[in-house]
Amino acid sequence: MGSYRMDVLVCGGTGCQASNSIDVIETMSKEIKAAGLEKEINLVTTGCFGFCEQGPIVKIQPDNVFYVKVTPESAAVIVKEHFVKGRVVKELLYEEPKTRKKLEEQSDMPFYKKQERIALRNCGLIDPENINEYIAVDGYQALGKALSEMTPEQVIDEVKRSGLRGRGGGGFPTGTKWELTRMSKADRRFIICNADEGDPGAFMDRSILEGDPHSVLEAMAIAGYAIGADSGYIYIRAEYPLAINRLKIAVKQAYDMGLLGKNILGTDFSFDIHLKYGAGAFVCGEETALINSIEGGRGEPTVKPPFPAEVGLWKMPTNINNVETFANVCPILLRGADWFASIGTEKSKGTKVFALAGKVNNVGLVEVPMGTTLREIIFDLGGGIKNNRKFKAVQTGGPSGGCITEENLNIPIDYDSLTEIGSMMGSGGMIVMDEDDCMVNIAKFYLEFTVDEACGRCTACRVGNKRLHEILTKITEGKGTEEDLERLKDLSQIIKDSSLCGLGQTAPNPVLSTMKYFWHEYLAHVNDKYCPAGVCKALLKYHIIPEKCKGCTLCTKVCPKGIISGKLKEAHVINKEECIACGACEQVCKFGAITRM
């Protein structure tokens, strides 16, 4: 990064921007100029560091100091204390919750200790809008190696031997997919990068595109060379404005430097990349629906076979990989297939990026070797459950996945192990739930999402999932029966067996997995008309514990129905028949006298 005395890396990802990191950067820039340090301090806006819970993040090099939760005000303090006086600002360091020790270095933090960053290797390290910084960290060397030292067949063989599998959810071997596309006879072939990341709580692909867009462009060009394609499309949802802007900048820079376009690096190979914006339809993450959308049609899946490798975009053979898959390609070519294959498990090689969300202390983005256990991710990297609540389940694979309980937390994460216990890898979303979550309601949430996002083409998905959602709604409203539970099981299996695409085929997974592991909660809802987690309002009533009630009358003042009675300084009573379960009384009670029933 030049001859500066100090490099200051400030997170400029979407998450930190939402926490005013732009104001942090502007304040720091002004203070640096005021101190006359413009020629000594290199202020760099980077992509996501991953530790979203602690953002905005500022990292100082070569001092190796990692500041967290930086505000515009504390940014000014960093300049005056650290940059000018050389003193670390202790109060802005990360505090390890268990030991209460302040940690300066990123590598000492439990959140990072078990991570191995391959796909995320440059995120938080370089300016994603500066191609020179990407080149400085071996950028475009893999493309140069492929074009000058390897045949297309050798490139494919290297990817095959690495064991890289698709990171979008299906886990199909990447090299094999490239080979099948190359073998298809046609006048032209295409490359597509699927950046239509739609799972609730997932932001892996977005963060890679925001923090390291050139890694995807370079990998797409390599894939184009390998399969014999001269054109590629990045299909990205329009809700990712920052990623789109940085992609546009990266594409222009690559063209300007002759790394995209005609006769790349002085060879006979030419490759163009186009951006195509999606309208945010979850179903367009399915590859045939995505192709239809690029062509200007409705985002609806088509029957397979034929697969896109045979008949894809414009009826030509097409290779489709997601963002994270492409982000692994360049390191494989530079460091070798054997290196990549040495990481992970026997059938799941390399690392996987997960978006930790929900009731976990360290919400953020993590990249760990395949085979790492869920317990390690949630309790070591994730820092455990918020507010010391009890862990209940984790949903992997988004709406297409399933919930995993305490008994399976020690299972190593790989494609096959997750499938065996009724879930799936998916694109990498990981939503953690605690004892206050109702699993019937969670299943209803995912079904509502699926119903909203379904394309409507096949009856099984269009009608069947709507019926599933109606039955779940009936149960959460206290109107369900045990017969409804049997209908849920039967209908779920029918939908899985007869839906056209993967969205419909996997939509019942949240229902089946919650019924498998939390059958007692379903029974409580239909037989006892009771929600054990106290979430379903129709089944929720409030009760005042006489021994704890001080008769302060606060609850009577906030009750919208006026159904709490009692004298001052005496225990009060709630009319349970008229209670609407709004929870206002529980919120204002200072003595813990009001409880849910």
Which SS3 state, helix, strand or coil, does residue 182 take? helix
| Structural domain boundaries, residue 240 | 131-340
Kindly state the tokens that stand for 313. 């975009």
Query: In whole angstroms, what is the distance from residue 117 CA to residue 99 CA?
Result: 26
CATH of the domain at 385: 3.10.20.600
Which class for 113: exposed (0-12), middle (13-18), buried (19 or more C-beta within 10 A)? exposed
Average pLDDT for runs of 10 along the chain of length 597 = 84 94 97 95 96 96 96 97 96 92 94 96 97 97 98 98 91 96 96 91 92 98 98 95 97 98 97 95 90 94 93 97 97 98 95 94 96 95 94 89 90 87 81 95 94 89 94 95 96 93 88 94 93 87 91 94 93 89 90 86
| Residue 517 tokens, joined | 């592991």
Residues 279 and 229 in one domain: yes
CATH number at residue 177: 3.40.50.11540
CA distance 208 to 121: 9
Residue 150 and residue 176 share a domain: yes
* Residue 450 in domain: yes
At 138 the pLDDT is: 97
419 and 494 share a domain?
no
Same structural domain, 400 and 448:
no
121 belongs to a structural domain: no
Residue 261 DSSP code: B
Tallying the residues shown for the chain, one arrives at: 597
Is 114 among the domain residues?
no
In sequence order, what DSSP letters do the residues of 416-434 get, joined into one string?
A: HHHHHTT---TTSEEEEEE
Of the residues 72, 107, 142, the one at which a domain ends: 107
User: Is the pTM value of this prediction over 0.95?
Assistant: no
In a domain, 122, yes or no: no
Residue 264 lies in a domain: yes
Report the alpha-carbon angle 477-479-484, nearest 5.
110
Tokens 């939908």 -> residue = 495
Q: What is the CATH number of the domain that holds 90?
A: 3.40.30.10
Residues 168 and 193 in one domain: yes
Q: Give the pLDDT confidence score for residue 217 in this predicted structure.
A: 98
How many angstroms separate the CA atoms of 429 and 198, rounded?
10
State residue 1's pLDDT score: 46
334, 366: one domain: no
Residues 303 and 227 in one domain: yes
Give a yes or no: residue 275 inside a domain.
Answer: yes
User: Burial code of 220-229, b = ≥16 C-beta within 10 A, e = fewer?
Assistant: bbbbbbbbbb
Over the stretch 151-165, which tens digit does the pLDDT of each residue have? 999 999 999 999 999
Q: Residue 285: which residues within 8 A CB-CB, separation 6 or more?
A: 168, 194, 196, 197, 198, 503
- Cβ(70)–Cβ(12) below 8 Å: no
Among candidate residues 288, 307, 340, the one where a domain is terminated: 340
- The DSSP secondary structure of 334-360, one letter per residue, reads HH-HHHHHTSB-SSSBSEEEEEEEESB
- Helix extents (H) in 117-212: 131-136, 141-149, 152-162, 174-183, 204-211
Whether 68 and 93 share a structural domain: yes
Q: 466 CB contacts (<8 Å, ≥6 apart)?
A: 451
Cβ(434)–Cβ(359) under 8 Å? yes
Query: CA angle, corner 134, sides to 125 and 368, nearest 5?
Result: 50
Whether 120 is covered by a domain: the verdict is no
Q: Are residues 190 and 318 in the same domain?
A: yes
Q: Is the peptide bond before 305 cis (omega within 30 degrees of 0)?
A: yes
Do 533 and 438 touch, CB atoms closer than 8 A? yes
Which conformational region is residue 388 in: left (phi greater than 0), alpha (psi within -120 to 50 degrees), or beta?
Answer: left
| Spatial separation of the C-alpha atoms in residues 149 and 390, rounded to whole Å | 55
Shared domain for 406 and 368, answered yes or no, is yes
State both tokens at 279.
């309208």
397 plus 476 within the same structural domain = no
Q: Are strands 318-322 and 190-195 parallel, antiparallel or unpaired?
A: parallel
Of 527, 552, 578, the domain-final residue: 527
Do 336 and 207 fall within a single domain? yes
Q: Is residue 21 packed enough to be buried (19+ CB in 10 Å), middle (13-18) or exposed (0-12)?
A: buried
Tell me whether residue 345 is in a domain.
Answer: no
Number of domains observed in the structure of the chain: 5
Of 431, 446, 437, 440, give the one whose Cα is nearest residue 360.
431
Residue 396 near residue 419, CB atoms below 8 Å = no
